[in-house]
Structure 1
């Protein structure tokens, strides 16, 4: 009588294991225990130059349109994942801004007094990174309208903006650091450069040979910002009206 062979199963997908790695999903038979070396290797994998955050920053600075296009259509392993990228960039900006205390001037609260609008604008000013993420939603709507013939869906445009606005935040962070070192008001120059970069990257993504695409990118970006602030004001007015009832 043949003895039944007990085949160990993969803990991830349930496939039979005949080696140290699952033939179906590639999960290891035995996961290595999380320790200091594991944490260090994870940090290195994010920060490494080969397909890490530094590599991503370099590629997005030089060829933003081409690299984002390739990420969407061909290879999603060359660059850091877009959501992780914009979160890391937001975190870098927030930490540096809180440490150096440079005034970003992102939202002017003057003229609103102690209203809810002023409170909202103060939050925007103190949370530039997160505000940028929210703003990208409105910019994406306008880009979708202006570039609808290119047949990119809303979420693909969000991916573009995660990369592009992440670089914009790093530009702003760099000028904030320089301003703190040399004690000269140059942060607004960084804002202008970031704005130019974003417009250039959007136009390059859709078709770098068409000048009109850069103009449409500029208008879409401006309209997205205006829409974001307009809705912030409406929200503040609504809160003030409710509080007075």
Structure 2
């Protein structure tokens, strides 16, 4: 029997509208539907676990392949960093360990303190902003390689995502054992970021690792200073 597409009002004879491609009849929402939606977001059939494995083993070639050759095998970079940041935030809330990633103390209730607090509660967006600062410095330091800013930002999304998983792992250990090991996770985060960025550009040169560390350090420094400056400017104007 023919039916009318609810989206474009075209006649539909099969399961999908020939004009807009919308499914003729939607399945009822039930437990199976919810499970399917979750797995599709996390891309559990091959994406998330495969992405983590490849980024841990061969980050440079994996990300270069994503940019230049195949963008279907990995989880999309923005989704990846948000998922990884969410995992870290959930584990921190459950185990109640002290956050050692972004920590800012101010004796007064300054605007900068509120901004840092927002970042601590929204690491997915916060890491994207941090990635912008690091990508800018990487663009300057690795200018001769010809990657544009957005391609380098994709690199940082993947790198920062793995970094959040590293912190989540050490956070679990600290939460369960009460041992202060999260600081070692932060150090490993920096080591991984330096290694992964250098692998992406030129893994054979020692100077690539120095530039990668410098890009990460300067990116985090300018990110922090920018927040303090903006916060102080708002406080001054108010």
More displaced stretch, 171-180 vs 117-126? 117-126
What is the aligned partner in structure 1 of residue 220 from structure 2? Answer: 225
Cα separation, 2, equivalents of 1:241 and 1:124: 22
**TM-superposition CA deviations, 1:98-122 (whole Å, max 9, x none):** 2222112334433553333333333
More displaced stretch, 84-93 vs 46-55? 46-55
Cα separation, 2, equivalents of 1:209 and 1:17: 58
Among 146, 153, 170, the residue aligned to 2:148: 153
More displaced stretch, 231-240 vs 160-169? 231-240
Gaps of 5+ in 2: none
Over the residues paired in the alignment, what is the CA RMSD in angstroms?
A: 2.7
**TM-superposition CA deviations, 1:121-179 (whole Å, max 9, x none):** 33344444432221111111001111111111111111111111000001001101110
Matches within 5 A, 1:1-245: 27=21, 30=24, 32-33=26-27, 35-36=29-30, 37-47=32-42, 50-110=45-105, 112-243=107-238
In the TM superposition, residue 9 of structure 1 has moved relative to its aligned partner by: 10
Cα separation, 2, equivalents of 1:136 and 1:92: 18
More displaced stretch, 52-61 vs 136-145? 52-61
Cα separation, 2, equivalents of 1:125 and 1:20: 46
More displaced stretch, 187-196 vs 232-241? 232-241
Q: SS of 1:80's equivalent?
A: coil
1:106–1:128: 8 Å Cα contact kept in structure 2? no
Cα separation, 2, equivalents of 1:205 and 1:13: 45
TM-score by length of 2: 0.86
1:15–1:22: 8 Å Cα contact kept in structure 2? yes
Q: SS of 2:63's equivalent?
A: helix
TM-score by length of 1: 0.84
Cα separation, 1, equivalents of 2:11 and 2:149: 40
Q: Which is higher, the Rg of structure 1 or of structure 2? A: 1
Gaps of 5+ in 1: 1-6
Q: How many residues align?
A: 236
